[in-house]
Amino acid sequence: MQVGVVSDVHGNLVALEAVLADMPAVDALVNAGDVVGYNPWPAACVEAMWDPTALDVEASVPGEPVPTVLGNHDRAVAEGSGFRFNAMASAGVDYAREALDAAHLDWLAELPAERRAFDDRVHVVHGHPDDPDRYTRPHEFDPDLLRDGADVLVMGHTHVQHHEVYDEGVVLNPGSVGQPRDGDPRAAYAVLDLDALAVEEHRVAYDVDRVREAVEAADLPARIGTRLAEGR
């Protein structure tokens, strides 16, 4: 079974479209959270999680809701809670809160902090199994993060692509679709072979200038767009 793994889309529709168009044929998708925040397409990105094939791109992905967990930006938009946000993050949260309608906000509010998928073999969280807001850096990956018989742990939050394969299973961060922070500006995702317990990390270039222009047109902080070219 091939599973496309995404995280930290952060309202970047241009990057999400590039990822879905680039992704090889998969049997399912999972999303480790932060669908919204920062960039100016929160509604379209939420709707893509409802049906990724509704986007105007050719993609070999299932046209069904994507199992998604609640990220800290998702929570802030849906519930008005804070998370040590800087000015850029706060502006993105405020923008999304204004741009989304009741159905979008209800969907975000109902996202679970963690979920199991594929007969409980895959455990999906945003930050860490014990704390959804904790950053789990690559050097902190460890087989002890695998809990309750899960073969795979999927995390996001750091925006840094990395995975490790252990005798006990796989720990995976697919990186960020919409705002990579590992020095590579290309959108990040991964494909998990659930039968072989193997991971392919992928990167795909997208039109960063289009995003930068849209950020400025939406009167969001310019740095939200300019940092994308740096992968920071």
- pLDDT at residue 83 greater than cutoff 60: no
Residues in the chain: 232
Q: Exposed, middle or buried by CB within 10 Å (0-12, 13-18, 19+), for 86?
A: exposed
pLDDT in tens, 178-227: 999 999 999 999 999 999 999 999 999 999 999 999 999 999 999 999 99
* pTM, rounded to two decimals: 0.96
- pLDDT at residue 87 greater than cutoff 70: yes
CA distance 74 to 63: 22
Considering the domain boundaries, does residue 154 fall inside one?
Answer: no
Count the neighbouring beta carbons within 10 Å of the beta carbon of residue 18: 20
Q: For the chain, give the percent of residues with pLDDT over 90.
A: 93
At 82 the pLDDT is 57
Considering the domain boundaries, does residue 165 fall inside one?
Answer: no
CA distance 90 to 212: 18
Q: How many domains does the chain have?
A: 1
- Structural domain harbouring 31: 2-110+175-230
In whole angstroms, how large is the CA radius of gyration of the chain? 16
At 49 the pLDDT is 98
Considering the domain boundaries, does residue 44 fall inside one?
Answer: yes
Q: Which residue has the tokens 């290309």?
A: 186
CATH number at residue 100: 3.60.21.10
CA distance 6 to 11: 13
Considering the domain boundaries, does residue 124 fall inside one?
Answer: no
Burial 93-113 (b: 16+ CB within 10 A, else e): bebbbebbeeebbebbeebeb
Higher pLDDT, 114 or 89: 114
Element (H, E) at 169: strand 169-173
Considering the domain boundaries, does residue 197 fall inside one?
Answer: yes
Beta strands in 32-132 (DSSP E): 114-117, 122-125
